[in-house]
Amino acid sequence: MDGLTAIGVGITLGLSAIATALAESSIGSAAIGAMAEKEELFGKGLVLTVIPETIVIFGFVIALLMIMGV
């Protein structure tokens, strides 16, 4: 793995983590607010809070593909 690939992997993981954090912050606060009013929304709020994590998982998969040279 050369230096440019390592920089690309770092940028890929960093940007996907930032995007996940931004998405999860707004979704998480809305879900907690909804659950504070209605406790039966816990399951839906939990699912909606977990969905943005797929962004960082996709970023990790792309980074692995970059490292392997695919």
pTM: 0.76
Taking residue 20's Cβ as centre, other Cβ atoms within 10 Å add up to 18
Q: Provide the domain limits for residue 37.
A: 3-68
Q: What number is the average pLDDT over the span 41-58?
A: 91
- Distances in whole angstroms, Cα of residue 11 to Cα of each of 19, 20, 53, 61, 66: 12, 14, 17, 13, 12
CA angle 56, 53, 68 (to 5 degrees): 30
1: pLDDT strictly greater than 80: no
CATH number of the CATH domain containing 16:
1.20.20
Q: What is the pLDDT of residue 70?
A: 82
- Distances in whole angstroms, Cα of residue 33 to Cα of each of 7, 60, 62: 39, 31, 34
Q: What is the pLDDT of residue 69?
A: 86
Give tens-digit pLDDT for 2-37: 899 999 999 999 999 999 999 999 999 999 999 999
- Residue 52 dihedral angles phi and psi, to the nearest 5°: -65, -20
* Count of domains forming the chain: 1
